[in-house]
Amino acid sequence: MVADMTQATPPSLEHVEYVLRLGDNALILGQRLSEWCGRAPVLEEDLALANMALDLIGQSRLLLTHAGRLEGKGRDEDQMAFLRVERDYRNLTMVEVPNEDFGRTTVRNFLFSAFQVLLWEKLVASSDSELAAIAAKSLKEARYHLNHSAEWVIRLGDGTEVSHARTQAALDYLWPYSAELFAANPTDDAVSAAAIGPAWGELEAAWEAMVLPVLSEATLVVPARTPFKTFGKFGRHSEHMGHLLATMQYMQRTYPGATW
Partner 1 sequence: MLTESEAWKLLDTVPDPEVPAVSVVELGIIRELRCRDDGITVVVTPTYSGCPATEVIGLAIRDTLAAAGAGRVELETRLDPPWTSDWIGEAAREKLRAYGIVPPTGRAAVGGAQPIRFVKQALSCPRCGSRDTERLSEFGSTACKATYRCKSCLEPFEYFKPI
Reported residue count of the chain is 260
> Which sign does the torsion angle of CA 18, 20, 25, 30 carry?
positive
Minimum Å gap between C-beta 61 and partner 1 is 7
Smallest separation, CB 81 to partner 1 (Å): 13
Q: Work out whether 3 is an interface residue with partner 1 (CB under 8 A).
A: yes
Nearer to partner 1, 14 or 130 (CB): 130
Q: What distance in Å separates the CA atoms of residue 97 and residue 31, rounded to the nearest whole number?
A: 11
Nearer to partner 1, 59 or 93 (CB): 59
Binding residues for partner 1 restricted to 134-193, rule: CB under 8 A: 134, 136-138, 140-144, 146-148, 150-151, 154
116-to-158, 177, 260 alpha-carbon distances in Å: 25, 15, 32
In the complex with partner 1, which residue's Cβ is closer, 95 or 142?
A: 142
**Is residue 95 a contact partner of residue 80, using CB atoms and an 8 Å limit?**
no
Give the C-alpha separation, 39 to 47, whole Å: 10
Q: Is 78 in the site for partner 1 (CB under 8 A)?
A: no
Under 8 Å between Cβ of 26 and 60:
yes
Number of H helices, E strands in the chain: 10, 0
CA 156 to chain centre: 22
Q: Which of 16, 22, 52, 244 binds partner 1 (CB under 8 A)?
A: 52
R_g over Cα of the chain: 18
In this complex, which beta carbon is closest to partner 1, that of residue 93 or of residue 135? 135
Q: Is 5 in the site for partner 1 (CB under 8 A)?
A: no
Judged by CB under 8 A, the chain residues 194 through 253 that form the site for partner 1 are 206, 209-210, 213-214, 217
Q: Judged by CB under 8 A, which stretch of 7-15, 113-121, 157-165, 249-257 contacts partner 1? A: 113-121
- Number of shown-chain residues binding partner 1 (CB under 8 A): 47
| Nearer to partner 1 among residue 66 and residue 90 (C-beta) | 66
Answer yes or no whether residue 70 interacts with partner 1 by CB under 8 A.
no
Q: How far is the CB of 133 from partner 1 (least distance, A)?
A: 4
Question: Using the rule CB under 8 A, which residue among 114, 156, 196, 248 binds partner 1?
Answer: 114
Q: How far is the CB of 58 from partner 1 (least distance, A)?
A: 3
- The answer to whether residue 48 forms part of the interface with partner 1 (CB under 8 A) is yes
Rounded Cα gap, residues 203 and 90, in angstroms: 19
Q: DSSP 3-state helix, strand, coil percentages of the chain (rounded to 5)?
A: 70, 0, 30
d(CA 11, CA 15): 6
Determine the straight-line distance between the first and last CA of the chain, rounded to whole angstroms.
19
| Interface positions with partner 1 (CB under 8 A) | 1-3, 30, 44-45, 47-48, 51-59, 61-62, 113-114, 117, 129-130, 132-134, 136-138, 140-144, 146-148, 150-151, 154, 206, 209-210, 213-214, 217
